[in-house]
Structure formats: structure tokens, C-alpha cells
């Protein structure tokens, strides 16, 4: 699931969905942050 092309998009949809439980939105936010921190490759100037 984590590596599907729409994974981050779906996490963002959950994060902004006010109908989702707050705890679920918080977990999605943390997972989004951790995924980006682990997989982001900064560009060198």
C-alpha cells in the first residue's frame, strides 16, 4: 500500500477530510511527514 502511486495523495485527502476522525487524520499526518522525511532526496545546487 505504501508504495502505490496515489499513496501520498490519499494521505492528504484523509488529512483534510473533516469527516474523518481527528485521530485518524493525525496518524495520516504523521505518516505523511515520516514518508517524506525518509524518501525525499534534496537537490544539490
Q: Is residue 14 part of a domain?
A: yes
32 near 12, Cβ under 8 Å? Answer: yes
What are the φ/ψ torsions at residue 6 (nearest 5 degrees)? -95, 10
Residue-wise pLDDT for 1-45, tens only, equals 567 889 899 999 999 999 999 999 999 999 999 998 888 888 766
Query: Residue 16 is part of which domain span?
Result: 7-39
Which pairs from 5-9 meet CB under 8 Å and 24+ separation?
7/35, 8/32, 8/35, 8/36
- Structurally, the chain folds into a number of domains equal to 1
Instruction: Indicate whether 32 belongs to any domain.
Output: yes
Is 8 in contact with 32 (CB distance < 8 Å)?
yes
- Quote the pLDDT of residue 29: 98
Amino acid at each position: 500500500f505504501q508504495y502505490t502511486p496515489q499513496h501520498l495523495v490519499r494521505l492528504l485527502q484523509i488529512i483534510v477530510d473533516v469527516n474523518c476522525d481527528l485521530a485518524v487524520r493525525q496518524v495520516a499526518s504523521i505518516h505523511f511527514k515520516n514518508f517524506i522525511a525518509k524518501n525525499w532526496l534534496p537537490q544539490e545546487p
